[in-house]
């Protein structure tokens, strides 16, 4: 089949029912695959005048038909991608550094994102269809969530980024520039992991109630911890005691809370929400140290657990990214203060310190 079109960007939807064709003249056409020679079912023209209209407004029509019209800027389309979650949505990348999310069936522009750099860009949807990756001439890769405020920047390339793609089965993103290919993990280092096999939980404790007092007893160590409980009518369903006896977990509905022995129960060290269902059993694992919760649908979720500040510091440093020259990024001053690495008198000045260009200020833990 031959189509008399100058196609610069191509994409099938996930069912291969429709084909999107982006052209050098700034237009995008959506055509049915079975009859591609038929007229396009939808067309978007992204060329603009030198004075584009404000978002959501149409350009003014000249009052006098004899007035010269403003010249049109031709914006070539560099890439297109269908949403895997909603095939009616198509993201279009253009050489003015913009990504446009278009509902081609209703012919509605839903959102736009600008890299603020003119030049070739490539766009890609994540497997869930929620996040759009956008390359940029400034060497960054942007992660854009249409309809939300969330925007991340992945830095590491020294030249313009040209291509980007999501792994369909894992939380990995790959990007390429003229000097390097980089693989990014999009999963925060402290995100929960689902355990496929049933773990042997350590420190599982029984809960004894007496008025507003609870006593946790870990059978394998014979250790008991009495604690005043602030809300007797909200009894935890499960508990566990760490091997060193300095930390314990309480599970209450969808909340799993980590405490230090001696701290008030209304001030947990951390709280974790059940991804599915409610918590019914909790415990600890070692090598690496993790706290684990089992939900009512039988799934096990694990989080990293730090026995002391030194373990947390070590993890924070090792989790930092590596730059394009192989150097590991440094913790920014404020992070060093939170981890107790810097002295208090230094921390009082940390807010005014400029961030090192290799700092991990943008790293999500």
pLDDT exceeds 50 at position 57: no
More confident call, 190 vs 201: 201
Work out the pLDDT band at 342, boundaries 50, 70, 90. low
Tell whether 363 is covered by a domain.
no
pLDDT at site 149: 59
DSSP 8-class letter at 119: B
What's the whole-number mean pLDDT along residues 241-246? 82
Beta strand pairing status for 132-135 and 193-195?
unpaired
Spatial separation of the C-alpha atoms in residues 220 and 208, rounded to whole Å: 16
Where is the domain boundary, 154, 185, 216?
A: 185
pLDDT at site 243: 83
Work out the pLDDT band at 323, boundaries 50, 70, 90. low
pLDDT exceeds 50 at position 332: yes
Spatial separation of the C-alpha atoms in residues 266 and 264, rounded to whole Å: 5
pLDDT at site 338: 58
Tell whether 77 is covered by a domain.
yes
Q: Judge if 38 and 159 occupy the same domain.
A: yes
Q: Judge if 132 and 252 occupy the same domain.
A: no
Tell whether 53 is covered by a domain.
no
Work out the pLDDT band at 147, boundaries 50, 70, 90. confident
Backbone phi, then psi, for 304, in 5-degree steps? -65, 140
Work out the pLDDT band at 360, boundaries 50, 70, 90. very low
Q: Judge if 250 and 333 occupy the same domain.
A: no
Tell whether 91 is covered by a domain.
yes
Tell whether 265 is covered by a domain.
yes
The sign of the torsion formed by the CA atoms of 197, 85, 90, 114 equals negative
Q: Judge if 271 and 294 occupy the same domain.
A: yes
Q: Judge if 216 and 284 occupy the same domain.
A: yes
Beta strand pairing status for 151-154 and 238-241?
unpaired
pLDDT exceeds 80 at position 65: no
Say how many domains are in the chain.
Answer: 3
Tell whether 2 is covered by a domain.
no
pLDDT at site 270: 79
State the CATH number of the domain containing residue 285: 2.130.10.10
Q: Judge if 319 and 288 occupy the same domain.
A: no
Q: Is the pTM above the cut of 0.75?
A: no
Q: What share of the chain has pLDDT > 90, as a percent?
A: 35
Where is the domain boundary, 132, 151, 185?
A: 185
Where is the domain boundary, 141, 165, 185?
A: 185
- In Å, the largest CA–CA distance within the chain is 94
DSSP 8-class letter at 336: H
pLDDT at site 198: 93
pLDDT at site 81: 97
Q: Judge if 295 and 331 occupy the same domain.
A: no
What's the whole-number mean pLDDT along residues 216-225? 69
Q: How far apart are the first and last CA of the chain?
A: 50
Q: Judge if 331 and 288 occupy the same domain.
A: no
Q: What is the CA radius of gyration of the chain?
A: 27
C-alpha 157, offset from chain centre: 19
Q: Which two tokens stand for residue 33?
A: 């695959």
pLDDT exceeds 50 at position 348: yes
Domain range for 329 is 309-352
pLDDT tens per residue across span 81-112? 999 999 999 999 999 999 999 999 999 999 99
pLDDT at site 287: 80
C-alpha 86, offset from chain centre: 19
What is the chain's mean pLDDT, rounded?
78
pLDDT exceeds 90 at position 143: yes
Tell whether 178 is covered by a domain.
yes
pLDDT tens per residue across span 271-302? 888 888 899 999 999 887 889 999 999 999 99
Q: Judge if 165 and 30 occupy the same domain.
A: yes
Q: Judge if 223 and 329 occupy the same domain.
A: no
pLDDT at site 49: 38
Tell whether 60 is covered by a domain.
no
Q: Judge if 23 and 147 occupy the same domain.
A: yes
Q: Judge if 295 and 318 occupy the same domain.
A: no
């Amino acid at each position: 089949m031959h189509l008399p079109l100058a196609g610069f960007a191509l994409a099938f939807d996930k069912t291969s029912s429709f084909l999107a064709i982006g052209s050098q003249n700034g237009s995008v056409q959506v055509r049915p695959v079975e009859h591609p020679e038929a007229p396009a079912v939808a067309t978007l023209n992204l060329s603009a005048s030198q004075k584009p209209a404000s978002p959501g407004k149409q350009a003014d029509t000249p009052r006098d038909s004899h007035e010269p019209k403003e010249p049109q800027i031709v914006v070539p389309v560099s890439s297109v991608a269908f949403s895997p979650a909603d095939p009616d949505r198509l993201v279009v990348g253009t050489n003015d550094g913009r990504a446009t999310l278009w509902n081609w069936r209703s012919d509605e522009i839903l959102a736009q994102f600008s890299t603020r750099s003119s030049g070739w860009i490539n766009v890609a949807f994540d497997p869930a269809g929620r996040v759009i990756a956008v390359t940029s001439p400034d060497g960054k890769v942007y992660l854009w969530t249409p309809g939300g405020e969330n925007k991340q920047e992945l830095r590491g390339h020294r030249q313009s980024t040209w291509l980007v793609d999501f792994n369909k089965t894992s939380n990995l993103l790959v990007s390429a520039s003229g000097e390097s290919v980089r693989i990014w993990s999009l999963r925060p280092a402290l995100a929960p992991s689902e355990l496929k096999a049933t773990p042997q939980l350590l420190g599982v404790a029984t809960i004894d109630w007496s008025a507003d007092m609870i006593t946790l007893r870990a059978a394998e160590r014979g250790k008991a911890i009495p604690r005043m409980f602030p809300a007797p009518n909200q009894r935890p369903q499960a508990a566990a005691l760490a091997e060193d006896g300095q930390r314990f977990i309480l599970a209450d509905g969808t909340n799993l809370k980590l405490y230090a022995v001696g701290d008030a129960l209304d001030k947990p060290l951390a709280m974790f929400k059940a991804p599915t269902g409610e918590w019914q059993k909790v415990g600890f694992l070692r090598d690496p140290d993790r706290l684990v919760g089992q939900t009512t649908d039988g799934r096990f979720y694990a989080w990293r657990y730090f026995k002391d500040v030194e373990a947390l510091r070590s993890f924070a440093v090792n989790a930092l990214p590596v730059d394009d020259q192989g150097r590991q990024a440094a913790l920014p001053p404020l992070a060093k203060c939170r981890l107790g690495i810097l002295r208090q008198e230094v921390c009082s000045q940390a807010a005014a310190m400029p961030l090192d260009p290799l700092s991990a200020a943008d790293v999500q833990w």
